[in-house]
Structure 1
């Protein structure tokens, strides 16, 4: 009788353990990584000159004069239909990989410019490809910064 009761209690606690594992991995580990990778891309973009329109930041280290984007206004924050030149892919360790490769994280960015032409808004979104036991929205992070001319 006591052994049966212990078995029922253990089975109930096992379910809680699985939920805790999933939450810790998705919200603790994967969400933190998306924030880190979004911040890394933001720092790379903000290091460019305000008028830079031809530095390729989809590779590391960035290639000056190789195009296509630099801080040219464009891009989008859509991870399902990313704009070429405004997207890169990372493996599980945060290293750049090809679009069709075994990527675990996607980073997309959008650059907008005000009407006066002296202020750019840079937005970067990073999302994980898949979570642990994830049925809802995947962990993602968005960072936004402004860059003014002539800096």
Structure 2
């Protein structure tokens, strides 16, 4: 019996004693600093990948989509002309509506859908080239680009291959002036589209 009493007294004494916290409970400032250093080192390794993702998204996502949109706009403008139209100045900045935009300037040689032009950004053919600003507003045409151009469109009208009569092939190309990111890294976004125009439409 005395052994049981002693045991009970010891147990009660242990319960009454306040618990002492271990010295390893919680985090110290040094441990937090080391954890942040490891996290920053890992993040720095991923920053190059993040920058590359942003550049690729801007060039191939945004700018390439814009070149497609603006090439399509020019194509729609050209296709809206009558088949035999050779009098519309399609490079004029004021001629952005659909249909015929008759030329009133005697010094301008309008082309409409006359055969000519080239898909060559380095050597554009006059009256088969126009320029847009960064927001897509037309700036007019000419072989000498305006200072604030951002998009360049060139087009070509040829008789359809194979000797088919009353059929023209219209090709439009659009590109940007710059790419986002380092110079000469990557290809400048450009789009080339082509369609046919037939008589009597």
TM-score normalised per structure 2? 0.71
Instruction: Tell me the number of residue pairs that the alignment of Structure 1 and Structure 2 aligns.
Output: 151
Give the 5 Å matches for 1:1-150. Answer: 1-59=34-92, 60-61=94-95, 63-66=101-104, 67-98=109-140, 99-114=145-160, 115-133=163-181, 135-150=185-200
Q: Distance in 2 between matches of 1:146 and 1:70?
A: 15
Aligned equivalents of 1:22, 1:74: Cα separation in 2: 37
Residues 99-136 of structure 1 deviation map (CA, whole Å, 9 limit, x = unaligned): 22210000000010133541100000000111111612
Distance 1:38 1:113 in 2: 20
Q: Distance in 2 between matches of 1:145 and 1:121?
A: 6
Which blocks of at least 5 consecutive residues in structure 1 are unaligned? none
RMSD: 1.5
Cα deviation digits, residues 23-48 of structure 1 (max 9, x gap): 11011110110000000000000000
Q: Which range is displaced more, 121-130 or 107-116?
A: 107-116
Cα displacement string for residues 62-106 of structure 1 (whole angstroms, at most 9, x for unaligned residues): 531354210011100111110000000000111112522210000
Decide which structure has the larger Cα Rg and report it.
2
Per residue, is there more strand in 1 or in 2? 1
CA distance in 2 between counterparts of 1:136 and 1:106 reads 18
Whole-Å separation in 2 of the counterparts to 1:28 and 1:2? 37
Query: How far is the alpha carbon of 1:4 from its aligned partner?
Result: 3.1
